Amino acid sequence: MTNQTQNSESQKIYDLEERTAKFGIEVIIFCKKSVKNAVINPLISQLVRSATSIGANYMEADGAESKKDFYHKIGICKKEAKETMHWLRMIAETEESLKSECRRLWKEVHELALIFSAIINRRK
């Protein structure tokens, strides 16, 4: 198993371990400086859980004991990425001042979800 994938368009190697960790940190920083109120707080809590879970599950996939285990963990990464997209959408629609930052984070997590989908589809 490997923690790197290759983008066929640019032939650059991306370290998914680093990229997912960086994304989780960016979400934490975003959440720490976001507005606090009764509506946003639970959404932020869910966002932090799902966004940081992407990297944690990727670390588990990278250390998988079998190919089946690897693909299962990558599937969880994909599900957590899609959940993160949902929470970012809810926050963007709830708090106008956070919309542009949510959009930027959404684009990154969408790319991650596509990468995980490509990894899963490679096995078929």
Query: Per residue in 68-100, pLDDT tens?
Result: 999 999 999 999 999 999 999 999 999 999 999
Q: What is the pLDDT of residues 46-63, one digit of tens each?
A: 999 999 999 999 999 999
Q: For residue 9, tell me if it sits in a domain.
A: no
Question: Can you spell out the DSSP letters for the chain?
Answer: --SEEE-TTT--EEEHHHHHHHHHHHHHHHHHHS---TTHHHHHHHHHHHHHHHHHHHHHHHT-SSHHHHHHHHHHHHHHHHHHHHHHHHHHHH-GGGHHHHHHHHHHHHHHHHHHHHHHHHT-
The CATH number that applies at residue 66 is 1.20.1440.60
Q: For residue 7, tell me if it sits in a domain.
A: no
Which residues form the domain of 32? 15-122
Q: For residue 41, tell me if it sits in a domain.
A: yes
pTM: 0.87
Q: For residue 28, tell me if it sits in a domain.
A: yes
Q: What total number of domains does the chain contain?
A: 1
- The rounded mean pLDDT for the chain is 91
